[in-house]
Chains A and B, each alone.
Chain A
Amino acid sequence: MAAAVGPGPEELILLEKLLGLKKGNKYGALEERKIPVLQTNNGPSLTGLTTIATHLVKQAKKEQLLGSTAEEKAIVQQWLEYRVTQIAGHSNKEDIRIILKDLNLYLEDKVYLARNNFTLADILMYYGLHHIIAELTVQEKEKYLNVSRWFNHIQHYPGIRQHLSNIVFMKNRLYTNPH
């Protein structure tokens, strides 16, 4: 079985590593839904996946991951919100179908979620979709071609994948036709 991202803080620990942050942040989880909580040394704790992720990005001084213009920032926020509201722990098949269909259409003319720049939205969306994409059949991966292209691109981004399984999109023929 493909290794999956667990609920709650696990995703944030992956992000910390990716950002090159030193360990030392302490996480908790709220309720059954495992809403992550970050205990900060100075000041109050922070709650919520995207809130903490944004905080970590700033901590690592990689603000470009949050978007550089007002427009880009809003787009990043929009997809982060989509990530926590639509791609929840256990969506049913129909929900997943719609998510993939919509993303596929959205990504048709884009390299990244925020168009031409790699952002936090891509990172969290990648972690959130990993278990879903891992379950897709070859045909489905073809059907959601733009999602596949985007996903494959993101998973090869240095440092992002970590222990998660590499998902195979290529379909090489074993033997091509005789010359």
Chain B
Amino acid sequence: MRLFLSEGSAQGLKVLAAAEASGARVRLERVPPDGHVVPFLTHPRVPALHLDSGTVLFSPNAICQYFFLLAGKEPNDLTNQWLEWETTELQPAVSTALYCHLVQGKKGEEVLGAIRKTLTYIDQSLTSKATPYLAGEAESVADIVLWAALFPVLRDESCLPDELHALRSWFQTMNLSEPCRSAAVSVLTPKGVQAFKLYLQKQPGPTLHWEKPAANEPEEEELAERSLSEEEIAAAAEAWARGPAALPERWQPPSPVLPVEGRRNVLITSALPYVNNVPHLGNIIGCVLSADVFARYCRLQNWNTLYVCGTDEYGTATETKALEEGLTPQQICDKYNAIHIQIYRWFDISFDYFGRTTTAHQTAIAQDIFQRLLERNMLLTDTVDQLRCERCQRFLADRFVEGICPFCNYEEARGDQCDKCGKLISAVELKKPQCKVCKDSPVVKSSQHLFLDLPQLEERLEKWLEQSWATGNWTTNSRFITRSWIRDGLKPRCITRDLKWGTPVPLDGFRDKVFYVWFDAPIGYLSITANYTDQWERWWKNPQQVQLYNFMAKDNVPFHSVIFPCTLLGAEDNYTLVNHLVATEYLNYEDGKFSKSRGVGVFGDMAQDTGIPADIWRFYLLFLRPEGQDSAFSWTDLMLKNNSELLNNLGNFVNRAGMFVCKFFGGRVPPMELGADDKRLLAHVTLELRQYNQLLEKVRIRDALRCILSISRYGNQYIQVNEPWKRIKGHDADRTRAGTVTGVAVNIAALISVMLQPYMPGISATIQRQLCVPQACNVLTDTFLCLLPPGHQIGTVTPLFQKLENEHIEALRKRFGGGQAQAACVASANVTPSGPGGGAVLAGDPQKVKELAEEVAEQADHVRQLKASKAEKGQIDGEVAKLLELKKQLAVAEGKTPEPPALKGKRK
């Protein structure tokens, strides 16, 4: 039998030690960590054992078990239990710890913390059984497996805490045993534990599968009453009593906003939207809206914040569009730039400056960076084969070629990237390329081009990445994508193109070319800032004072984490490099993709015509922000969330709190006498507020939104339990109580108005207007202060939200689902030939279900009549066939699998 191992794989340790311990005779073969040695598994699994019978074992524990079985050692309940525990509990914990240590560079207690619980468990087991080994008096497969799992983290028993005495002595015994020692020597090599690092870096970050929430419904929204300590409650009550005077003064940034010594200076960019596309909801939540929430939050935190964005305007796509519309490229850019601005204004995106890339500053800065790269020998010249369409008389930009992906054979791969497998492609590698404009096959022509020498910069990049990852908030997907890029090895990257619409290359021999849009576009961040202020370098050449956040969707990650940083590192001008790279996953549309060409999905300019206010759009998009995994936009869900979370929860609470002040206390906040229950509530609200701050600090925008909803849920519960509307009619004590509850509630509403501001600025302003919350209150701290003291006069209170009705939503779904029904038609055509009902059926469409049900009933009546009137058999059969077909369609429309009918002996 052959055992396939890879260097630095911790699991290799296990199987080697087991082979030694059991005396199994195996032939070792070394393969890379991503070697494909298990033919039927998609993801590579190493180690693997190939038996002579052809059986392949890919589970390290099963391999160990097999070795022991060969030696005649049968498993028992205890060894089984340890092995199962090792794969389900210990292994995920160990992966986390190793990842913390090796990839993120954490040390000591932080690393041990991840496996603490599991260590204690082993120690207790050993202690309670009082045996030297895990499953009794003798060493078993369980000992080998657990030792090998722990070894990469612990190395030797010295880092184990003293109190885990039994574990220490067991681990020491194992370490000294011959099989383990020799396995360790064989796997570890002189590099020591670092041997695992390379391997781990190439693996996705550890994710514990049960921690992943389902896409749209993350956590159960229950108010789990976390137990509060007396101190927490007292502290909350004490903070509350300090009142608005305790608020820090609002920071008024200078105009233009520039970094200020001694302040937290936050520079926020959103990926630049390409000018000639109208952005869809996925684009909006992916960058501009996410960045907007964070920018607004930063401002509420009194951080000195600059948020810039703009349209990315150069490139062939613009040239083509100009030809199509009979305008110059500049005119096209002007036209669409205005459309973008209008859309973002409607969504209330708070850019400090929204610029564009077709400016003199862009040319100056891009050319300067280019010159610096040139002087430092960071550029290479090479001949490039490029696709040229003879019919269109031009070189084809990557996005103007389509063909079959050379990696995964996806048929509609674009010339720069495959949408299916996500790999970057060079257009000439495409199989069967086609010019996207005229569908002709392009020819390959050679031309001289300039390349950024990425291999030369790789080391500097890795050093910088290590530091940036250790201190910044990079989303998991951004780290993963970056790592996989580096793993594949960096290659020189072409930065010029044979086009006209772009930044000219200032070098003899290349003057008829322009910079490739991906070299050019990120420089747009700098030039757009330069258009905002002539002191732009204080933001962009100031890594000491500035924290840079880049927001984008995940397809943009490599350009921001590898290529652009390399450009800036190579130019050596003390540039500000990204500290926090925040990438979203994709937002799908009703379980499909947004597609402009097929008319599927909601686009920025159409959202305004739906009659649904911008803040509701913002709320829903943020509520399902694809944070951590893809999510899907659904009309029904939008309606549900609006009606439940906004109308019934948040809106209901704020409205009731305000109404009570108006109705029962003449519009003035009543005096409050806080009892134990009220203080407890303050403490709960404070906890949610802190959680909100912690999450937003880490840019977990979607999760933080849930804290606001939790607070209003607490508020509703509070009002419900205390019933101020009843108490107000009672005795003095009851009336005082009603006052206290109303006063606390309206103050919670005021806090909500501040916390909600990043998400729903319009609604926040409305609440503040209704409750007359002073502008000075728009500062966020970790304490919940009584912002509206007794006697504070509030304004007129009206409902904040409107119910969305089913008919309205169904009409919208129809309007925007355009291409999708057709797609479903194609898909279902294979199974269900269109029957007399006509047209295609879309599963789950209630209107269709109703119509079909009626048709079924009608047809059934018709058949009954025919039979009753003894019609011809042929005629009856025909009508029965129609009936069955209708029933089948109904079943599909109801989302069921059509059941095969009982064929009463009619089968032929």
Within 8 A of A (CB), among B187-227: 209-210, 212, 214-215
Q: Which residues of B contact A51 (CB under 8 A)?
A: 77, 80-81, 84
- B131 to nearest A CB, angstroms? 12
Q: Which residues of B contact A33 (CB under 8 A)?
A: 210
Whether B827 is near chain A, meaning CB under 8 Å from some CB there, is yes
A55-B77, A102-B40, A170-B900 known; A71 vs B215 contact (CB < 8 Å): no
| Chain A, residue nearest B53 (CB) | A71
**Is B62 a contact partner of A175 (Cβ separation < 8 A)?**
no
Q: How far is the CA of A32 from the CA of B80 in the complex (A)?
A: 22
Whether A152 is near chain B, meaning CB under 8 Å from some CB there, is no
**Is B69 a contact partner of A90 (Cβ separation < 8 A)?**
no
Instruction: Mark B26-42 against chain A: 1 for CB-CB distance below 8 A, else 0.
Output: 00000000000001111
**Is A78 a contact partner of B897 (Cβ separation < 8 A)?**
no
| Chain A, residue nearest B51 (CB) | A71
Q: Which residues of B contact A71 (CB under 8 A)?
A: 51, 53, 55, 66
Instruction: Mark B766-780 against chain A: 1 for CB-CB distance below 8 A, else 0.
Output: 000000000000000
Q: Which residues of B contact A91 (CB under 8 A)?
A: 209
Interface centre among B209, B210, B888 (most CB of A within 10 A): B209
A71-B53, A84-B88, A168-B899 known; A98 vs B42 contact (CB < 8 Å): yes
A46 touches which of B53, B61, B81, B87 (Cβ 8 Å): B81
A74-B65, A98-B43, A138-B831 known; A174 vs B59 contact (CB < 8 Å): no
Q: How far is the CA of A45 from the CA of B210 in the complex (A)?
A: 24
| Chain A, residue nearest B212 (CB) | A92
**Is A90 a contact partner of B80 (Cβ separation < 8 A)?**
no
Whether B908 is near chain A, meaning CB under 8 Å from some CB there, is yes
- B63 to nearest A CB, angstroms? 7
Q: Which residues of A contact B62 (CB under 8 A)?
A: 74-75, 77-78, 81
A78 touches which of B57, B70, B210, B831 (Cβ 8 Å): B57
Q: How far is the CA of A177 from the CA of B537 in the complex (A)?
A: 77
Whether A82 is near chain B, meaning CB under 8 Å from some CB there, is yes
Whether A54 is near chain B, meaning CB under 8 Å from some CB there, is yes
- B214 to nearest A CB, angstroms? 6
Whether A89 is near chain B, meaning CB under 8 Å from some CB there, is yes
A98-B43, A171-B900, A174-B884 known; A47 vs B66 contact (CB < 8 Å): no
Q: How far is the CA of A16 from the CA of B116 in the complex (A)?
A: 35
Q: How far is the CA of A97 from the CA of B905 in the complex (A)?
A: 38
- B689 to nearest A CB, angstroms? 26
Q: How far is the CA of A37 from the CA of B214 in the complex (A)?
A: 26
Whether A73 is near chain B, meaning CB under 8 Å from some CB there, is yes
Q: Which residues of B contact A88 (CB under 8 A)?
A: 209-210
**Is B908 a contact partner of A74 (Cβ separation < 8 A)?**
no
Whether A139 is near chain B, meaning CB under 8 Å from some CB there, is yes
Within 8 A of A (CB), among B88-126: 88
Whether B629 is near chain A, meaning CB under 8 Å from some CB there, is yes
| Chain B, residue nearest A170 (CB) | B900
**Is B897 a contact partner of A70 (Cβ separation < 8 A)?**
no
**Is B831 a contact partner of A139 (Cβ separation < 8 A)?**
yes
A176 touches which of B75, B83, B84, B908 (Cβ 8 Å): B908
Q: How far is the CA of A33 from the CA of B88 in the complex (A)?
A: 11
Q: How far is the CA of A90 from the CA of B216 in the complex (A)?
A: 13
**Is B69 a contact partner of A172 (Cβ separation < 8 A)?**
no
Q: Which residues of B contact A149 (CB under 8 A)?
A: none
A174 touches which of B53, B87, B881 (Cβ 8 Å): B881
Within 8 A of B (CB), among A58-103: 70-71, 73-75, 77-78, 81-82, 84-85, 88-92, 95, 98, 101-102
Q: Which residues of B contact A106 (CB under 8 A)?
A: 40
**Is B629 a contact partner of A81 (Cβ separation < 8 A)?**
no
Q: How far is the CA of A137 from the CA of B892 in the complex (A)?
A: 10
- B113 to nearest A CB, angstroms? 19
Q: Which residues of A contact B58 (CB under 8 A)?
A: 78
Within 8 A of B (CB), among A95-145: 95, 98, 101-102, 105-106, 108, 115, 137-139
Q: Which residues of A contact B41 (CB under 8 A)?
A: 102
Q: Which residues of A contact B70 (CB under 8 A)?
A: 70
Q: Interface size bucket, A side? A: 35 or more
A48 touches which of B39, B53, B81 (Cβ 8 Å): B81
Whether B611 is near chain A, meaning CB under 8 Å from some CB there, is no
Instruction: Mark B385-399 against chain A: 1 for CB-CB distance below 8 A, else 0.
Output: 000000000000000
Q: Which residues of B contact A70 (CB under 8 A)?
A: 66, 69-70
Q: Which residues of A contact B410 (CB under 8 A)?
A: none
Q: Which residues of B contact A176 (CB under 8 A)?
A: 908
Interface centre among A46, A47, A71, A102 (most CB of B within 10 A): A71
Interface centre among B40, B55, B84, B901 (most CB of A within 10 A): B84
- A102 to nearest B CB, angstroms? 5
A74-B57, A168-B899 known; A90 vs B40 contact (CB < 8 Å): no
| Chain B, residue nearest A55 (CB) | B77
Q: How far is the CA of A47 from the CA of B86 in the complex (A)?
A: 12
Instruction: Mark A147-165 against chain B: 1 for CB-CB distance below 8 A, else 0.
Output: 0000000000000000000
**Is B903 a contact partner of A172 (Cβ separation < 8 A)?**
yes
Q: Which residues of A contact B215 (CB under 8 A)?
A: 92
Q: Which residues of A contact B629 (CB under 8 A)?
A: 92
| Chain B, residue nearest A67 (CB) | B69
| Chain A, residue nearest B888 (CB) | A174
**Is B59 a contact partner of A77 (Cβ separation < 8 A)?**
yes
Q: Which residues of B contact A50 (CB under 8 A)?
A: 80, 84
Q: How far is the CA of A91 from the CA of B215 in the complex (A)?
A: 10
Instruction: Mark A31-57 against chain B: 1 for CB-CB distance below 8 A, else 0.
Output: 011010000000000111111001100
Q: How far is the CA of A172 from the CA of B903 in the complex (A)?
A: 10
Whether B830 is near chain A, meaning CB under 8 Å from some CB there, is yes
A78-B58, A81-B62 known; A48 vs B77 contact (CB < 8 Å): no
**Is B827 a contact partner of A139 (Cβ separation < 8 A)?**
yes
Q: How far is the CA of A173 from the CA of B831 in the complex (A)?
A: 10
**Is B81 a contact partner of A47 (Cβ separation < 8 A)?**
yes
B88 touches which of A48, A73, A95, A139 (Cβ 8 Å): A48
- B265 to nearest A CB, angstroms? 38
**Is B57 a contact partner of A48 (Cβ separation < 8 A)?**
no
Within 8 A of A (CB), among B472-489: none
Whether B85 is near chain A, meaning CB under 8 Å from some CB there, is yes
Q: Which residues of B contact A138 (CB under 8 A)?
A: 831, 897
Q: Which residues of A contact B55 (CB under 8 A)?
A: 71, 75, 115
**Is B51 a contact partner of A172 (Cβ separation < 8 A)?**
no
**Is B84 a contact partner of A75 (Cβ separation < 8 A)?**
no
Instruction: Mark B879-908 against chain A: 1 for CB-CB distance below 8 A, else 0.
Output: 001001100100000000101110100001
Q: How far is the CA of A88 from the CA of B69 in the complex (A)?
A: 28
- A46 to nearest B CB, angstroms? 6
- State the 6 A-B residue pairs at the shortest beta-carbon distance, nearest first: A78-B62, A74-B66, A70-B69, A48-B84, A105-B40, A106-B40
User: A81-B62, A115-B55 known; 5 other A-B pairs, CB under 8 Å?
Assistant: A71-B55, A71-B66, A139-B830, A172-B903, A174-B888
Question: B residues engaging A (CB < 8 A)?
Answer: 39-43, 51, 53, 55, 57-59, 61-63, 65-66, 69-70, 75, 77, 80-81, 83-85, 87-88, 209-210, 212, 214-215, 629, 827, 830-831, 881, 884-885, 888, 897, 899-901, 903, 908
16 of the cross-chain contacts (CB-CB < 8 Å) are A54-B80, A55-B77, A55-B80, A70-B70, A71-B66, A73-B69, A74-B69, A77-B83, A88-B209, A89-B210, A101-B42, A105-B40, A137-B897, A168-B899, A172-B900, A176-B908
